[in-house]
Structure 1
Amino acid sequence: MRTIVGACLAIGIGLSIGQPAEAAKTRSLFCVLVPHFKDEYWLSVGFGLEQEAARQGVELLFFEAGGYRARAAQIAQLDICVARGVDAILIGAVTSDHPDLMDAVSQAAQDIPVFGLINELHATGLHGSIGVDWQDMGFVLGDHLRVLHPAGSAPRTAVFLNGPEEAGWTGPLEIGLRDGLAGSAVTVLEVFRADTGLRQQLALTETALERHPDVNYLIGNAPAIEAAIGLLANRPDAERPLLLATYVNHTIKRSLMNGNVLAASFDDPILQARMSIRQAVSATTPGQRPIGPEVVLLTNSDDNLGQVGISPAEYFPSLQ
């Protein structure tokens, strides 16, 4: 694999990166399975994986399923990894609990250590898992709005553009958002769901704005907020809702810095990726509880947004 030059800074986290593993006679080979790279978020994950793999003397094979509804493709990719006899499999699952994928993961884990990557995964036999609690990702946004608009203040409205129901993070995200909004003057008028490709989220955002043209806040995943920025730029005379993102990618970081986005949840995908490689290199016994960095809230008034770690603009992993 190619060597990555440079480093991404993480904020709010105090985790050291450790020293590279001593060179072994044979380099370890890990499979990495992700839902898709249509969302720039997963590019930051891939970059962090390659950074730490280079430090640890690990070679990576990247597989992209194609979306959160590409369950059969991800199962086939698992089979390929098992047949290759890799040393570990890191899987960003397209679903947290569908029995077909759970069975495939459990079967693979009988032969090769399997580690959950970012997304929640309920399969048995996992050797470990890295990820944040997506209820926290929703809660920090809801709580931010609660502070801005406490109960008894002027009523405000919001729509929520979520990912697909199949994805393991979308349900906890909505629960956390509603928990954070408890005791506020903000009402969620409607929840919309679709895969997190830009095309699907663009259609979703258009529908949301057509149904609720006077909404005060649009809360959504990164591609949905990207779509909203473009749509609202073409409506200069219309009432513009304020935008909040449920996670950070390249566009969301730029939009926080230029003021187009009010706030976003940040789970440091590069750091999570580094942690995943270190876990897979060092884990000797299965059954570790999921671990991950602290979720923090970023706002467009923060003065350290330039230090938020994401992958370089030109980065894209080599896929199998």
Structure 2
Amino acid sequence: MNTSLKSLSTTALIVAGLTTSAAAQDAIWPFDVVNSADGGSEIVSYQGLEKAEKPWHICVLFPHMKDSYWVGVNYGIVDQARKLGVKATILEAGGYTEAAKQVSQYNDCVALGVDAIVIGAISEAGLAKSMAEGNEKGIVQVGVINPMSDAAGARIFANYDDAAEAGAKFLAEMADGNPMRMVHFPGPQGSGWAEASTEGVERGIEGSAIELLEAKYGDTGKSIQLRLVEDALQAYDDVNIIYGTAVTAEVAKQALEEAGNDDALIAAYYSNEGMVDLVKSGVVTATVTESPVMEARIAMDLAVRILEGKDHLVELNPSMTVLTKDNIDGFDMSRSFAPADWEPVYAVE
């Protein structure tokens, strides 16, 4: 293993609280990740490269940039490309319903003659044929954010079942044996990560007093999530917990107020920038973050390491944190979100 990847522990990391010094907030590296290759759970302290050996051309595919989560991923990709001194071309498909468009964009990347493709996949199955052809052409492929198999030479993504389980366990502890009724809003069906989150919720509330009424799947656009929450509140009496995507948590208060439900808890199993103020104000009880900006930085670093024949890890999961009103002020937001004035960038020359 490269000396820049220092072993810390053999135990997987999901933490519920933290403190961060000002000095640590100013530094990008190191960042703790779980080396999950071959079912492992070793925590390593990841240290990125300072510069690439040459200005490689890396194409990056996103499902969309409709919310601050993926805008943060864009920031991580772009800023790391600039630090490494590589060229980046960034394409976004427009939403999780646009799997065919992402396949077309993958082929566009190949036509550009790029050295590597970093993929935030809408559907790995949909990309399988194109990725196989990319491998045959010698194009380095790295998966980022959304789960991916060893079709990619390396990948870093959150285990959303673990993230959802961590948040669900926190809510079960809050319930403290009092019966509560939950509706879960996982995200788009067929994405893989949404279904995984439902599995995590089921594990997290097992043996608790929380009843899962339904998992309502749908795209993560605000209007769609609002409609799903409204539908759930009409279908079920006495909903106590709205748990789901960050977008769900953003719109849930409006739906609850319109339904006259003043007591339900709102929580998210991943975070976007909107979660920060909502958690601080107490509107959202808890949210889980896996630091997507750092996932993006590491994906770019992995692509360069593979291109340059350097030692690299092949499957990584980011460390995760359950954020609440009590600990959010101690969290380094630059690892999860873009700066407030950041606008999406589509090319780094």
Smaller-chain TM-score range?
0.7 to 0.9
Given that residues 68 and 166 in structure 1 are in contact (C-alpha distance below 8 angstroms), is that contact kept between their aligned partners in structure 2?
A: no
- Greater per-residue strand proportion: 2
Any unmatched runs of 5+ in structure 1?
1-5
Say if 2:325 is the partner of 1:295: no
Rounded Cα–Cα distance in structure 1 between residues aligned with 2:84 and 2:269: 31
User: Corresponding residue for 2:160?
Assistant: 134
User: Corresponding residue for 2:145?
Assistant: 118
Change (3 A) 1:261 1:12: farther
Match of 2:297 among 274, 279, 284: 274
**Could you tell me how far 1:67 is from its partner in structure 2?**
1.2
Change (3 A) 1:19 1:115: closer
Deviates more, 1:226-235 or 1:308-317: 226-235
Change (3 A) 1:183 1:131: same
Rounded Cα–Cα distance in structure 1 between residues aligned with 2:167 and 2:207: 14
Q: Percent of pairs identical after alignment? A: 29
TM-score (norm 1): 0.88
User: Corresponding residue for 1:208?
Assistant: 232
Given that residues 127 and 286 in structure 1 are in contact (C-alpha distance below 8 angstroms), is that contact kept between their aligned partners in structure 2?
A: no
Rounded Cα–Cα distance in structure 2 between residues aligned with 1:225 and 1:203: 13
Deviates more, 1:298-307 or 1:209-218: 298-307
Given that residues 11 and 308 in structure 1 are in contact (C-alpha distance below 8 angstroms), is that contact kept between their aligned partners in structure 2?
A: no
Change (3 A) 1:203 1:123: farther
Given that residues 245 and 263 in structure 1 are in contact (C-alpha distance below 8 angstroms), is that contact kept between their aligned partners in structure 2?
A: yes
Rounded Cα–Cα distance in structure 2 between residues aligned with 1:221 and 1:149: 20
Given that residues 242 and 261 in structure 1 are in contact (C-alpha distance below 8 angstroms), is that contact kept between their aligned partners in structure 2?
A: yes
Say if 2:283 is the partner of 1:256: no
Change (3 A) 1:286 1:68: farther
Rounded Cα–Cα distance in structure 2 between residues aligned with 1:241 and 1:162: 18
Alignment of 1:84-233 (within 5 A): 84-96=112-124, 98=125, 100-111=126-137, 112-122=139-149, 124=151, 126-150=152-176, 153-233=177-257
TM-score (norm 2): 0.81
User: Corresponding residue for 1:56?
Assistant: 84
**Could you tell me how far 1:249 is from its partner in structure 2?**
0.5
Rounded Cα–Cα distance in structure 1 between residues aligned with 2:345 and 2:319: 30
**Could you tell me how far 1:144 is from its partner in structure 2?**
0.8
Given that residues 161 and 196 in structure 2 are in contact (C-alpha distance below 8 angstroms), is that contact kept between their aligned partners in structure 1?
A: yes
User: Corresponding residue for 1:307?
Assistant: 332
Given that residues 160 and 196 in structure 2 are in contact (C-alpha distance below 8 angstroms), is that contact kept between their aligned partners in structure 1?
A: yes
Given that residues 78 and 345 in structure 2 are in contact (C-alpha distance below 8 angstroms), is that contact kept between their aligned partners in structure 1?
A: no
User: Corresponding residue for 1:3?
Assistant: none
Change (3 A) 1:219 1:12: farther
Given that residues 78 and 108 in structure 1 are in contact (C-alpha distance below 8 angstroms), is that contact kept between their aligned partners in structure 2?
A: no
Amino acid at match of 1:266: T
Rounded Cα–Cα distance in structure 2 between residues aligned with 1:8 and 1:219: 33
SS at match of 1:79: helix
Rounded Cα–Cα distance in structure 2 between residues aligned with 1:11 and 1:238: 44
Match of 1:20 among 35, 50, 67: 50
Rounded Cα–Cα distance in structure 2 between residues aligned with 1:8 and 1:201: 36
Given that residues 127 and 288 in structure 1 are in contact (C-alpha distance below 8 angstroms), is that contact kept between their aligned partners in structure 2?
A: no
Change (3 A) 1:83 1:295: same
Amino acid at match of 1:72: A
Q: Number of residue pairs matched?
A: 307
SS at match of 2:316: coil
Change (3 A) 1:149 1:238: closer
Given that residues 33 and 77 in structure 1 are in contact (C-alpha distance below 8 angstroms), is that contact kept between their aligned partners in structure 2?
A: yes
**Could you tell me how far 1:142 is from its partner in structure 2?**
1.5
Amino acid at match of 1:118: I
SS at match of 2:216: strand
**Could you tell me how far 1:308 is from its partner in structure 2?**
2.5
Given that residues 246 and 264 in structure 1 are in contact (C-alpha distance below 8 angstroms), is that contact kept between their aligned partners in structure 2?
A: yes
Rounded Cα–Cα distance in structure 2 between residues aligned with 1:32 and 1:269: 15
Amino acid at match of 2:304: V
Deviates more, 1:286-295 or 1:156-165: 286-295
Change (3 A) 1:278 1:233: same
**Could you tell me how far 1:18 is from its partner in structure 2?**
4.0
